[in-house]
Every structure is written in structure tokens, then in C-alpha cells.
Structure 1
Amino acid sequence: MTNSSTTETLSPDRHKQLFKGKEQEALAQALDIRKFEIDLYWKRATYFWAFIAATFAGFIAIQSSSSVNKTDMSVILSCLGVVFSFAWFCVNRGSKYWQENWEKHVDVLEDEVTGPLYKVVLSRNPHGAKADKVRNLLTGPSPLSVSKINQSIN
């Protein structure tokens, strides 16, 4: 099911049928692959950040130089930056797709093994004082997607 040329969309009932009796092993594998996908996501993001930063540094260096080919080099580096940014965007979308695939497996499998651990979100102090709510608005946790923010930046 991980080969993109043979992917199959399963209903939760069909998924349970296919993994009946193997829930614990399948959940452990899904959690492990999800963790692996997240690790790859950040490695790829670092890789693209480095290329884009180097391209930007080159652009700035060219702009501050007195080179005769300054305009040509600036255009080339700008195009290179656009190519890297678009590639990063596509890689992020692909990474997010596979991460969410494994999270969906976890969602279906976890009930039988651990209960709804990944589906339940516990909030700290949900009925706290007004001052706490204002402070938490500025400095507290928020259910933002780090990968979606990263994708928006590129």
C-alpha cells in the first residue's frame, strides 16, 4: 500500500477487516513509519532552506558587487530561487500526504490497541481565568500545523 502506483482507498470497515488480529503490529508499524515521515519532512525542509538561503546570499552578493554581468546573474539566481521554492513546495505537499496517510492508519488502528490516544486532545486550563486566556493567546500553545506554516512560507 505504500507504493504510490498501487495505492488503495479503504473504508474504515475494510481497513479493520484487512488488519483483524494484527492491530498491535500494524499500529506499531504505522506509528514508526509516521515518525520516519516526519523526520524525513524536516530533513528535506532543512535541505531546501539551505539551498534557498545560499541562493539568496548569492543574490545579495551579486547586488552589492560592481560586476558587469550583475543583472544577468541576478536573474539567474532569482530563477534558481523560484525553482528551489517550487520544488520545496511540491516536496512538502508529498511529505504531508504520506504523513497524513500514516496518521489515518493510526486513527483506525489505535482504538483496538491503546484507545483513542491520538484522537483525544487535552487542553491545559480550558476554563481558566480571563487573564490566563489573554496570556495564553500570546504565549500559550495553539493547534497550528507546523508543516502547513512551513508550506505557506515556501
Structure 2
Amino acid sequence: MNNVFNNETEYLEEFRIKPDLLDSENRKYKRDEKQLEALKMALDIRKFEIDMYWKRATYFWTFIGASFAGYFVLINGNVNAAERLHWGHILIVSILGFLFSFSWFLVNRGSKFWQNNWERHVDYLEDDIMGPLYKTVTNPNRNNYLNPFSEYPLSVSKNKSAFKFSCNSYLGYFDK
């Protein structure tokens, strides 16, 4: 059974990080070995989820790219008359491209959910062990979006916009 926690106190109690270890001065739990091991595990699983996200994305980009290439080869007539396929084949390639794109969107949503889940675990566990490292962002106001050579805090989860472009492209092909 999955447990859902509404706050940090409920979460830490479930891990049996006892309230009697509460430091009354700063209202934070003192370091506990179980908490340290849970933090290590949460960091490892978070890293694993991010690695798996990029592996999945690579597969989907390959399938979607192949669908685009196949569509354009068929639509531009880069095959001789004997090999030319009719519009039904173009429709099939478009549908496959759309299905790959939509599947990629669903995988992105699931991957982001699990990444956020493990980041919340880290948020709850990190303060007493290593401080608020994952919660801290340094100098976010210095970033310049309009300068293409400067850093900018774009989120990798924004790949959903690529999904929208991809799906809309395939839907647009149905009109031809």
C-alpha cells in the first residue's frame, strides 16, 4: 500500500524518526542513521529516474525522427514511380508518428511525477544531514533569456513543447 504524506512531520514519523529527537531550539529533527540511509537512497533513485528519462527520450526521438523522415520521403516523391506509395501509406506513417509523440508525452508526465516524488523525499530528508542543498537556487535573477550565450534555468521537463509541435505536425499531415 502506498502512503501519501501531507507534511514533513507525517513523513518523518512514518520513517520512525522519533519526535523525541526533535531539537526544540530550531524545530528540526536531529540526524538519525535511518534518515541518512533514506536520503542516500532517495538521491540514488532520483538520479536513476533522471537517467531513465533521458534514455526513454532518446528512443522516442529516434522513432519520431524516423517517422518524420519516412513521411517526407513519401510526400516529396523521392522514390521512383514503381516504388511510390499511395496516400494510405502516408496516413499510416502519420498515425505512427502521432502515436509515438503521444506516447512520449505520457512517458514525460510519468517520468516527471517520479522525479518530483524523489525530489520531495530529498527535500524532507536533507536539512539535518547536509542542509537545504537541493532546495537552494543561487542567483536566479542574473539569467538573461534573450542572450543566446548566457545560461538560463530552462527545465528539462519543458520537452512537452516539443511533443506539442510533433503532434501538431502529424495532425497537420492529415489535412494534405
Shorter-chain TM-score: which interval? 0.7 to 0.9
Whether the 8 Å CA contact 1:107–1:116 is kept in 2: the answer is yes
Corresponding residue number in structure 2 for 1:48: 60
Q: CA deviation at 1:137?
A: 4.4
Q: What is the CA distance between 1:123 and its match in structure 2? A: 1.9
Shift in CA distance, 77/15, structure 1 to aligned 2, threshold 3 Å = same
Bigger Rg, which one:
2
Structure 1's 44 and 110: CA in aligned 2 closer, same or farther, altered over 3 A? same
**1:13 corresponds to which residue?**
9
Is the alpha carbon distance of 1:151 and 1:125 closer, same or farther for their aligned partners in structure 2, counting shifts above 3 Å? Answer: closer
Q: TM-score, normalised by structure 2?
A: 0.73
Q: 160, 171, 175: which one pairs with 1:151?
A: 160
Structure 1 residues without counterparts, runs of 5 or longer: 1-5, 127-132
Residue 37 of structure 1, CA deviation: 0.1
SS at 1:93's partner residue?
helix
Distance (Å, rounded) in 1 between the aligned partners of 2:150 and 2:132: 25
Paired residue for 2:70, among 32, 48, 58?
A: 58
**C-alpha contact 1:38 1:99 (8 A) present in aligned 2:** yes
2:156 is aligned with 1:140:
no
Deviations 1:66-114, CA, capped at 9 Å, x for gaps:
4553311110000001100000000000000000000000001000110
Structure 2 counterpart SS, 1:87: helix
The match for 2:45 is: 33
Higher relative contact order (Cα pairs below 8 Å, separated by 6+ residues): 1
Q: Indicate whether 1:113 and 2:108 are aligned.
A: no
Segments of structure 2 that go 5 or more residues without pairing to the other structure are 18-31, 164-176
Partners of 2:157 and 2:72 lie apart in 1 by 28
* Secondary structure of 1:112 counterpart: helix
Task: Spell out the pairing of 1:70-149 with structure 2 (5 A cutoff).
Answer: 70-123=86-139, 126=142, 137-138=146-147, 139-148=149-158
Greater helix share, structure number: 1
Q: Residues 125 and 92 of structure 1: is their aligned pair in 2 closer, same or farther, counting only changes over 3 Å?
A: closer
Count of residues in Structure 1 that have an aligned counterpart in Structure 2? 141
Contact 1:58 1:77 (C-alpha < 8 Å) held by counterparts: yes
Q: Secondary structure at the match of 1:111?
A: helix
RMSD: 1.9
